[in-house]
Structure 1
Amino acid sequence: MACACMRHLSAIRTPTVASAGPPKETANSRVLILGGTGRVGGSTAIALSKLSPDLRITIAGRNREKGASMVTTLGKNAEFAEFDINDDKSLESALNDVDLVVHAAGPFQQTEDCRVLEAAIRAKTAYLDVCDDTYYALRAKAYNNEAIASKVPAITTGGIYPGVSNLMAAELVRVAKSENKGEPERLRFYYYTAGTGGAGPTILATSFLLLGEEVIAFNKGEKLKLRPYSGMMSIDFGKGIGKKDVYLLNLPEVTSTHETLGIPSVSARFGTSPFFWNWAMDAMTRFVPSELLRDRSKVEEMVKLFDPVVRVIDGYAGERVSLRVDLECSDGKHTIGVFSHKKLSVSVGTSIAAFALAVLEGSTQPGVWFPEEPQGIAIEARELLLQRASQGTINFVMHKAPWMVETNPKEVGLGIYV
């Protein structure tokens, strides 16, 4: 399946894109949020209600008590729908008369199907997911032709990272190509989140599952497979965050931006704090069998054991989050973008809400797209989306030289430069 998806990605590298035109009105549009009683889905619902108060929002989940509490928070334009995402009849019923479904019911790792996307295509409902898994994203892309045939606009990996980070990369590349004589050669994604970012067990499960995946990176067009949580670098994220250690991780924006933006060298790194969590993550990749880390049920059992300790540590670690995207060109020019926020639990919802509004406003063409593809978020709609997503940030800069934001990063002990 992955190989077929990769061939499909290659075929759409240089698309012809029609203008999206002026944004459509979103007043009274209906949005269904799957996983809406969770921290990510709930944060998305709150952000959407603030950005567009006239939206009608349906919170979908299995916990009626949490659903009722969320409806109270959102007000008169909200309602709760109790159902199981694995029940096809329940899912199709929930999609009736819905303008957009936001799939925030993770984790996406080790999920073997795209059940929600399939149902959205059948129901002719626009679709957005917050997937952060390479293999799930590629499976979603395989539904591109079906979505086009049904005239359904769909975006996969439309969260904060990946999501906002993809758009930052696309804009760095677009501006570099318009201003420079050199060609974009190296793209690096750096991410930092304090603790679990206040996002709870789902984020912890996602982290553990990713430790079971070999890291895909690209160096001068060559595809590399590397050990997860290796290749430490010390990166300065600028104001409000400072220098943090980050490690290689297998994230979908590496493959998608390599293919769709045509960048020869791409990698992604992530780090957390307190510092001993990074040591623990590294130790897990060395001493815990990868088969166990790829077993979703066993990982969920591990999360139950770790969760009480994690919550205590999160209490003093905070939940600051930062994205830094670096682009290097063949003429020596190096530009970066930085996006930092005090609270991931707030910022992730604002970012997803920004994508949701862009889809409702008609920015997305029929088909299944990554955020950096102009059919996913039209070029002329990127600025507004990033403006919305960056509300409340402590630092958001684009198209700056590294020295304007921080000291030069220092590479630590990695033989392969990716």
Structure 2
Amino acid sequence: MMAGAAVSPNPIPPPPSFLPSIKPRVIILGGTGRVGASTAAALYRLCPSVHLVVAGRNREKGATIASKLGENAEFVWVNVDDIYSIQAALEGMDLVVHSAGPFQQEEKCNVLEAAISSKTAYLDVCDDTNYAWRAKSFHEKAVAAGVTALTTCGIYPGVSNVMAAELVRLARSDNIGEPERLRFFYYTAGSGGAGPTILATSFLLLGEDVLAYNNGKQIKLKPYSGMLTIDFGKGVGKKDVFLLNLPEVRSAHEILGVPTVSARFGTAPFFWNWGMEALASIVPANILRDKMKVGQLVRLFDPFVRAIDGIAGERVSMRVDLDCTNGRSTLGLFTHKQLSVSVGNATAAFAMALLEGGTQPA
């Protein structure tokens, strides 16, 4: 669901694993953002020997983040829209973590291309269907270059994919029926404290038709429609969630082989959901697909979102429900009090699996 590599007819040596005595060099693009900075902190906790390069456009913020991480960290200015800038930054790196979103409406995979060209392992936190599958189209090149490339390795998608895969695996191994319907439900209080990039992502997703699957057939639905009230358990309770176009839907259908799949998301306070519904219904889709115009909306709403975040907190919860043909249902549930911390932990865990040699082009 995440690997961007395919089977090669020629044997490929496994990627190197980095022992504690060796210092892997990791560059985090978008390292000055909430997700990137959280990933850097989590990765340093998991692997204190790692040499971290925090990369972005904000020199002052980047230098501050690097100094807090310690002597094994540094800041490098990088323009992710310039492939030559990326190529220069990747020189001598073992892994690049691409967290410089939003990924919606991006037509090129500059970082992935540069990673393959420089034979640098690659990982991203993409949450856009089109970008994720465009990245997967590079699997032949990645395999030929012997480069491990992972996409959609955040919390959702990312950990949610792993939860779904485990539910499906258990259902099939325990012979409790063939998986028939898989539903992803997500809740985040406010913006989750994840900053303007997440706000931009939310607005951009409102401009995309929702792709879902019903009995094996792909269907298109209106964004932020189809409300359901879902119980996320202790600490969160019942929340309203709405349809969004997310990449785990297609990967769960095509790779896990589940015929009916959908994903829904909701936030709090409740009036943010009203606002999202209104934007999806009133604002023309072409405006919501325009990154510059969405950027203007973000600047308009950001002060209000930050104010509400201070009250709402940033609790996050994911629930994955699997229904099988024999009528039996199972679910997986994850809840954390801070989205920014949990997404950093999730991304860092994927990065460690890669650095330790747990993945390879295959």
TM-score by length of 1: 0.82
- Kindly indicate whether the alpha-carbon contact (under 8 Å) linking 2:176 and 2:324 is maintained by their aligned counterparts in 1: no
Q: Are 1:33 and 2:31 counterparts?
A: no
Query: Could you tell me how far apart the structure 2 residues matched to 1:290 and 1:275 are?
Result: 23
Give 1:360's aligned residue.
355
Q: CA, structure 1 residues 12+255, in 2 after alignment: closer, same or farther (shift >3 Å)? A: farther
Say which SS state the counterpart of residue 213 (structure 2) adopts: strand
Query: Could you tell me how far apart the structure 2 residues matched to 1:365 and 1:82 are?
Result: 30
- Counterpart residue type for residue 97 of structure 1: G
Unmatched 5+ residue regions in structure 2?
none
- Counterpart residue type for residue 218 of structure 1: Y
User: How far has the Cα of 1:88 moved from its partner?
Assistant: 2.1
Say which SS state the counterpart of residue 280 (structure 2) adopts: helix
Q: Are 1:146 and 2:145 counterparts?
A: no
Say which SS state the counterpart of residue 32 (structure 1) adopts: strand
Q: Are 1:306 and 2:293 counterparts?
A: no
- Counterpart residue type for residue 149 of structure 1: A
Query: Could you tell me how far apart the structure 2 residues matched to 1:63 and 1:296 are?
Result: 20
Query: Could you tell me how far apart the structure 1 residues matched to 2:15 and 2:101 are?
Result: 33
Q: Are 1:245 and 2:233 counterparts?
A: no
Q: Deviations over 1:87-134 (max 9, x none)?
A: 222211111111100000000001010000000000000000000000
Q: CA, structure 1 residues 51+293, in 2 after alignment: closer, same or farther (shift >3 Å)? A: same
Give 1:73's aligned residue.
68
Say which SS state the counterpart of residue 134 (structure 2) adopts: helix
Q: Are 1:203 and 2:203 counterparts?
A: no
User: How far has the Cα of 1:24 moved from its partner?
Assistant: 5.1
Say which SS state the counterpart of residue 336 (structure 1) adopts: strand
Say which SS state the counterpart of residue 60 (structure 1) adopts: strand
Query: Could you tell me how far apart the structure 1 residues matched to 2:65 and 2:298 are?
Result: 25
Q: 2:268 aligns with which of 265, 273, 278?
A: 273
Q: Are 1:116 and 2:119 counterparts?
A: no
- Kindly indicate whether the alpha-carbon contact (under 8 Å) linking 1:103 and 1:116 is maintained by their aligned counterparts in 2: yes
User: How far has the Cα of 1:363 moved from its partner?
Assistant: 1.8
- Kindly indicate whether the alpha-carbon contact (under 8 Å) linking 2:236 and 2:317 is maintained by their aligned counterparts in 1: yes
The answer to which of 181-190 and 315-324 deviates more is 181-190
User: How far has the Cα of 1:22 moved from its partner?
Assistant: 12
* C-alpha RMSD of matched pairs (Å): 1.8
TM-score by length of 2: 0.95
Q: Deviations over 1:47-92 (max 9, x none)?
A: 0011111111000011111111111110011011112112222211
Q: Deviations over 1:297-356 (max 9, x none)?
A: 000011001111111111101000001011111111211111100000111101100010
Query: Could you tell me how far apart the structure 2 residues matched to 1:80 and 1:245 are?
Result: 41
Say which SS state the counterpart of residue 98 (structure 1) adopts: coil
Q: 1:332 aligns with which of 327, 336, 346?
A: 327
Q: Deviations over 1:253-294 (max 9, x none)?
A: 000110001000000000000000001101111111011101
Unmatched 5+ residue regions in structure 1?
1-8, 367-374, 376-418
Give 2:126's aligned residue.
131
Give 1:233's aligned residue.
228
- Kindly indicate whether the alpha-carbon contact (under 8 Å) linking 1:12 and 1:260 is maintained by their aligned counterparts in 2: no
Q: CA, structure 1 residues 362+200, in 2 after alignment: closer, same or farther (shift >3 Å)? A: same
* Dislocated runs of 4+, deviation >2 Å: 20-27
Q: Are 1:159 and 2:159 counterparts?
A: no
Identity across aligned pairs (percent)? 65
User: How far has the Cα of 1:198 moved from its partner?
Assistant: 0.3
- Kindly indicate whether the alpha-carbon contact (under 8 Å) linking 2:223 and 2:244 is maintained by their aligned counterparts in 1: yes
Query: Could you tell me how far apart the structure 1 residues matched to 2:88 and 2:16 are?
Result: 32
Query: Could you tell me how far apart the structure 1 residues matched to 2:6 and 2:80 are?
Result: 31
User: How far has the Cα of 1:25 moved from its partner?
Assistant: 2.4
Give 1:348's aligned residue.
343
Query: Could you tell me how far apart the structure 2 residues matched to 1:45 and 1:83 are?
Result: 16
Query: Could you tell me how far apart the structure 2 residues matched to 1:22 and 1:183 are?
Result: 38
Query: Could you tell me how far apart the structure 2 residues matched to 1:275 and 1:193 are?
Result: 11
Query: Could you tell me how far apart the structure 2 residues matched to 1:321 and 1:32 are?
Result: 27
Query: Could you tell me how far apart the structure 2 residues matched to 1:359 and 1:175 are?
Result: 25
The answer to which of 32-41 and 76-85 deviates more is 76-85
Give 2:90's aligned residue.
95
Q: Deviations over 1:138-167 (max 9, x none)?
A: 100100100000000001100000000000
Query: Could you tell me how far apart the structure 1 residues matched to 2:82 and 2:31 are?
Result: 17
- Kindly indicate whether the alpha-carbon contact (under 8 Å) linking 2:6 and 2:140 is maintained by their aligned counterparts in 1: no
The answer to which of 67-76 and 101-110 deviates more is 67-76
- Kindly indicate whether the alpha-carbon contact (under 8 Å) linking 2:228 and 2:241 is maintained by their aligned counterparts in 1: yes
